[in-house]
Structure 1
Amino acid sequence: MKRRILGGTGISVSEYALGAMMFGAWGNKDHDESVRIVHRALDAGINFVDTADIYSSGESEEIVGKALKDRRDDVVLATKVHNQMGPDDNHRGNSRRWITRAVEDSLRRLGTDHIDLYQIHRPDPATDVEETLDVLTDLVRSGKVRAVGCSTFPAEQIVEAHWVSERRGYVRFRTEQPPYSILARSVEAAVLPTAQRYGMGVLTWGPLSAGWLSGRYTQATDIDLDSGTTRTALERHKFDPSLPENAAKLTAVNELAKLAGEAGLSLPHLAVAFVRAHPAVSSVIIGPRTLEQLDDLLIGADVELTGDVLDRIDEIVPPGVDLNRADAYYVPPALADASLRRR
């Protein structure tokens, strides 16, 4: 497994990061198998593990903690804070009050005394970014956190955070974790160039675009919108093939599968190699639910796409384009809340 330096941190990380979102109730409920997945990934050369407090309501962090019990020093461990973790409205967000408590909860679940990369999972319009950076600075100085980053932040908020850090002498976001795949390329326009401009590491998530690029969906009838607990049913707006943007994804998937076959690759290997090829990307988060899925992704770890193949991908899905805007996973408050557009 090849390594890259994570932004300007000096931390060496594998080109694949193991994402733990599928460990626990959200995915694989077998803790022992999830632990084996972590160990298999580490044995294959992956040294970067990413989770979040919200994943299965803390269960993912607990599983990761079990898996790393005797291997913690060999792993760059990342987790995230922001999402609702309890019934109270203050059990969420990017405030000093919540982050101070949430980091202790994560440390306890992970069974460690420090987090290598602590990330703000989403922007919080209710909290001044100065408040957030202030408490993150305290956590770094206390030794509980080694570096801090953001996830799914728009470019303008990344810039604002860096300006505040410079003016106030706070630690700065060293990484950004955006969604990025062949079908969701909007981050190429501003987020990735902004990260490069500020010397940030980039660890991307969703290279298989929620399964669209796994080879699972080749026609509309492959998409099950009727099983209430499946992702396709819970996020219908991202899967319903009757919607034009999802019909466009299905067309693109079939063209990409043909291209992958011509290049002697599987569709998932093509998809992950595409993300890894961008010069801004430090590490690609893969999120296997089973050992078989992990093993298949590991086979493609050394795939390098030629310029001709990358040009063909650009023809199928143009640079900077999200075929479905919902796949950007962040809607600015001014667009999501109609009251902000009315007098």
Structure 2
Amino acid sequence: MSDSAHRATVAGPLPAPTTAQTATVVDPTPVPPRPVGLSALRVFPVALGTNAFGWTVDAAEAGRMLDAFRATGGDFLDTADSYADGRSESILGDWMHARRNRDSLVVATKVGRSSEHPGVGARAITAAVHDSLRRLRTDRIDLLYLHVDDPDVEFEETLLAVDELILGGAVREFAAAQHPGTRLIEARIASAQLGFTPMAAVQAPYSLVSRREYEQDLARIVRAQGLGFVPRLPLAGKFLTGRYRSRADLTPGDRRGALGRLLGRTGMQVLAAVDQVAAEIDAAPATVALAWLLSKPDVVAPVVSATAVDQVIDLTAAASVRLSRRQLTELDRASEPFA
């Protein structure tokens, strides 16, 4: 679908965002924003991932989900130039233009994986950012992620290109995704030596069933450098929503992949602990899994994807949930095999 077709779809009239359902579940008390590392960015502690926009979610449904996200206080949006070949950015840009709410949002996008501008060389990054700005219909990206770690490109070249974009006002802050701890250290050293803007945040997998990479490698570096940590895959491919309870719930491909492995004894022990806490506080399992993440030091906002409005409400509810010490301990203990 062309950009103009998306624009016509999302700019049309949509149902009012404050539905009766939303009014009954949304806490009217504002959720305090969280800082993104040492940067000036402040965000709602749940980021809405838009990777399904333009793929399995059309522009009209995306608009309803975005309206619901805003109605619950959400302001942190996560996209990428490679999501649906840029259609995710276009849908988001058209919605912001129609709602005239760009200045009240924090928009994060990623570059490095698109078919048109692959890699993180200076020319690719610069071209990708300007194309993202056009699709997003904005003059700046609040948080730019490097979507790949390319060892064939000198890190100094990448950092210089990003710094020039920041100095020019096209980008406010930058972050890393898919980068090991050693590369974060290299980036900090290079930025300090060359006088570049330092990195503000890092994105990596982290959940109750995926703790090892962050807790054993990244956590100490995030803390030492004052980075904000933005967990991705916080629901482990919807496993922690409780959607998958047996192998019969999976597609043949999923049975051979990560979801199939999670349906073993240790994964089901975690899901049982999540279910127990969810029953105690009358919340969805996904809400509990995200609330556990939000209790961890340096976590800014998990990036969660949704395909329907009711899912958005369950996800953003985590920002208002405070789990007890006992509940957190039980979830920690159940997920220890994944630590």
Per the TM superposition, whether the score is higher than 0.5 is yes
1:166 maps to 2:192: yes
Contact 2:53 2:87 in 1 (8 A): yes
Bigger helix fraction: 2
Amino acid at match of 1:124: D
**2:259 corresponds to:** 239
Distance 1:211 1:299 in 2: 16
Output the aligned Cα RMSD: 1.8
Counterpart residue type for residue 10 of structure 1: A
The offset of 1:258, in angstroms, is 4.1
Counterpart residue number, 2:280: 263
Q: Of 32, 43, 47, which residue of structure 2 is paired with 1:17?
A: 47
Using the size of structure 1 for normalisation, the TM-score is: 0.84
SS in 2 for 1:38: helix
Give the superposition deviation at 1:201: 1.4
Q: Report Cα offsets for 1:177-221 as digits up to 9, x if no partner.
A: 111110000201221221121111122121111111011111121
Provide the C-alpha distance between the structure 2 equivalents of 1:318 and 1:191, rounded to a whole number of angstroms.
17
Name the structure 2 match of 1:3: 33
Looking at structure 1, the residues matched to 187 and 265 of structure 2 have their Cα atoms a distance apart, in angstroms, of: 36
Corresponding residue for residue 333 of structure 2: 315
Instruction: Say if 1:104 and 1:178 are closer, same or farther in 2 by CA, change over 3 A.
Output: same
Greater shift, 134-143 or 5-14, is seen at 5-14
Tell me by how many angstroms 1:313 deviates. Answer: 1.7
Instruction: Go from structure 1 to structure 2 and tell me whether the alpha carbon gap of 1:42 and 1:258 turns closer, same or farther (over 3 Å shift).
Output: closer
| Alignment-derived partner of residue 100 in structure 1 | 126
Is residue 82 from structure 1 mapped to residue 82 from structure 2 by the alignment? Answer: no
Q: Which amino acid aligns with 1:272?
A: L
CA distance in 2, matches of 1:307, 1:21: 34
Counterparts of residues 221-240 of structure 1 (less than 5 Å): 221-225=248-252, 232=254, 236-240=256-260
Q: Is the 8 A contact 1:5 1:282 kept in 2?
A: yes
Say if 1:122 and 1:320 are closer, same or farther in 2 by CA, change over 3 A.
farther
Conserved in 1, the CA contact under 8 Å of 2:245 and 2:263?
no
**Which residue identity is paired with 2:277?**
A
Q: Is the 8 A contact 1:133 1:172 kept in 2?
A: no
What SS is found at the alignment partner of 1:116?
strand
The residue number in structure 2 matching 1:290 is 308
Conserved 8 A contact 1:52-1:79:
yes
Check the 8 A contact 2:34/2:43 in 1, yes or no. yes
Identity %: 31
Provide the TM-score with structure 2 as the length reference.
0.85
CA shift, 1:260, in A, is 2.4
2:257 maps to amino acid = H
Contact 2:250 2:260 survives alignment (8 Å): yes
Mapping of 1:117-196 within 5 angstroms? 117-186=143-212, 187-196=214-223
Match of 1:252 among 265, 269, 273: 269
Alpha-carbon distance in 2 for matches of 1:257, 1:78:
30
Moved more, 281-290 or 208-217: 281-290
Q: Is the 8 A contact 1:219 1:250 kept in 2?
A: no
* DSSP 3-state at the match of 1:194: helix
Unpaired segments ≥5 residues, structure 2: 1-30
User: Which residue does 2:101 correspond to in 1?
Assistant: 71
Are the counterparts in 2 of residues 35 and 66 from structure 1 also a CA contact under 8 Å?
no
- Asked whether the equivalents of residues 17 and 46 of structure 1 are also in contact (C-alpha less than 8 Å), the reply is yes
* Equivalent position amino acid for 1:141 in 2: L
Is the counterpart of residue 45 in structure 1 residue 80 in structure 2? no
Contact 2:48–2:78 (CA under 8 A) maintained in structure 1: yes
CA distance in 2, matches of 1:273, 1:211: 15
Identify if the C-alpha distance between structure 1 residues 134 and 82 changes in structure 2 by more than 3 Å, giving closer, same or farther: same
